[in-house]
DNA sequence: TAAGTCATGTAAAAAGTTACATGATTCT
DNA sequence: AGAATCATGTAACTTTTTACATGACTTA
């Protein structure tokens, strides 16, 4: 099984979804820490079905094209549950902006500062979006956020990672931009 | 040009290196934010040479096999310098551990807590290694760390990113492990 | 009427990992 | 003698991205 397969199972363990909806989730919720295009999702769904992890049923729609709605099977849920606590083998991080920072000594400092300030803005924007979601979760999901057996707790846990990641990334960009402009 | 190409040029802009040495750097210095295996490095070097970004000369060694030492050309340096300030198009983040967190509600909390505590240890270990390097840099490179035109400044900048990344990641792992164990 | 969304696929190319292949020297 | 390091490559495979392909319906 591929990691993409578990990403899909993770979504289907919460709700039934079509390939189209799965692809959208891959660009939103799960997309912040795992993503895939529809051209990867459709073949993966076929593989998951061939191996008995999911099933589908065709839902006819009047005003929209028909769709295949996928559901996780008992086998799929068991496989997902087992995978969760298995140690993940570390994948190399690849971050182009940090790579640029490594060669920033070659560039015009003012121009480089612009680049990192823009990046800071992007990450701050994402941080603000996450903070709004956090506020909403704390209001609407209060009781569930302390329950490790609740999917809402798990959603909150991943959101926390996003918050920390963006906050830290933005701070680093700002620090570097300041340093490039000679601000002490 | 590929990003890997710029990673290689970034290393060659600082010192001449063989494919073998480049591969090692890809697992150390640059490896923390960009990495590649030797099977990717050798063909990429050939491509870079074919396009005039690098040249090589064979260095004969008595006690070791001969090696090809690569050097960046003026064209290569110019290309690298231009690339640094060009906006990087965002690549999707893929983090299997965060994906596991998304489905952690399915797992036994105690078992899951173990997983995230182990991850916290790994990131804390990496953080400690970075902190040692930081201490060393501040002692040995003090004058350069404020000079944006110095490669040492750039090395320090990427190290800062590593420090923040590991610190934040470890804190998140610890928070999640605590939450899974019901610690408030 | 043109653009956008919903919906599902396949094909080709690029990027990255794992495995295959060789050979000298050095360290234990 | 066996394992590790230095040194360079190719081949096969997996993963991911980009492009090709189609068609209905909705909104501006």
pLDDT digits (tens, 9 = 90+) for B133-176: 999 999 999 999 999 999 999 999 999 999 999 999 999 999 99
* Per-residue pLDDT, A184: 67
B80 touches B9 (CB < 8 A): yes
Q: CB neighbours of B144 closer than 8 A, spacing ≥ 6?
A: B150, B152, B153
Angle between helices A38-50 and A3-12 (to 10 degrees): 80
Q: How confident is the model at residue A29 (pLDDT cuts 50, 70, 90)?
A: confident
Q: Is A103 on the interface with B (CB under 8 A)?
A: yes
* Cβ within 7 A of any strand C atom: A 18-21, 23-24, 38-39, 42-43, 45-46, 61, 64-68, 91-92, 94; B 2-4, 35-37, 39-40, 63-65
pLDDT digits (tens, 9 = 90+) for A41-98: 999 999 999 999 999 999 988 777 789 999 999 999 999 999 999 999 989 999 999 9
Strands, E assignment, chain A: 17-18, 54-59, 67-72
* Per-residue pLDDT, A82: 98
* Per-residue pLDDT, B29: 77
pLDDT digits (tens, 9 = 90+) for B103-136: 999 999 999 999 999 999 999 999 999 999 999 9
Percent of chain B with pLDDT over 90: 90
Cβ pair A103:B179 closer than 8 A: no
Which one, of B56, B67, B76, lies nearest residue B21 by Cα? B67
Cβ pair B33:A102 closer than 8 A: yes
* Per-residue pLDDT, B109: 98
CATH for the B3-85 domain, from 2.102.10.10, 1.10.10.10, 1.20.1600.10, 2.30.42.10: 1.10.10.10
Instruction: Choose the closest CB to A154 out of B77, B104, B169.
Output: B104
Q: In what order do the strands lie in the sheet with B54-59?
A: B17-18, B67-72, B54-59
* Per-residue pLDDT, A162: 97
Residues 145-164 of B with CB under 8 A from A: 146, 148-151, 153-155, 157-158, 160-161, 164
* Per-residue pLDDT, A60: 85
pLDDT digits (tens, 9 = 90+) for B74-99: 999 999 999 999 999 989 999 999 99
Q: How many residues does chain A have?
A: 184
* Per-residue pLDDT, A47: 97
Mutant choice from B106, B119, B180 vs A, greatest count of A C-beta within 10 A:
B106
Q: How confident is the model at residue B28 (pLDDT cuts 50, 70, 90)?
A: confident
Higher pLDDT, B182 or B101: B101
Question: What pairing do the DSSP bridges indicate for beta strands A67-72 and A54-59?
Answer: antiparallel
* Per-residue pLDDT, B184: 66
* Distance between CA atoms of residues B72 and B82, nearest Å: 15
């Amino acid at each position: 099984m591929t990691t993409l397969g578990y990403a899909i199972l993770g979504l289907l363990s919460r709700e039934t979804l079509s390939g189209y909806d799965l692809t959208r989730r891959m660009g939103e919720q799960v997309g912040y820490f795992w993503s895939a295009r529809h051209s990867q999702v459709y073949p993966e769904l076929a593989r998951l079905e061939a191996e008995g992890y999911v099933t589908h049923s065709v839902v006819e729609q009047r005003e929209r094209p028909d769709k295949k709605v996928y559901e996780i099977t008992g086998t799929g849920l068991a496989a997902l549950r087992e995978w969760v606590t298995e140690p993940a083998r570390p994948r190399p991080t690849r971050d182009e902006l940090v790579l640029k920072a490594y060669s920033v000594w070659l560039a015009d400092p003012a121009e480089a500062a612009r680049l990192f300030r823009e990046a800071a803005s992007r990450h701050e924007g994402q941080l603000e979006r996450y903070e709004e979601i956090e506020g909403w979760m704390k209001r609407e999901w209060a009781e569930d956020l302390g329950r490790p057996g609740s999917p809402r707790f798990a959603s909150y846990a991943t959101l926390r990672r996003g918050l920390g990641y963006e906050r830290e990334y933005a701070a680093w960009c700002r620090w570097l931009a300041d340093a490039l402009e000679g601000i002490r």
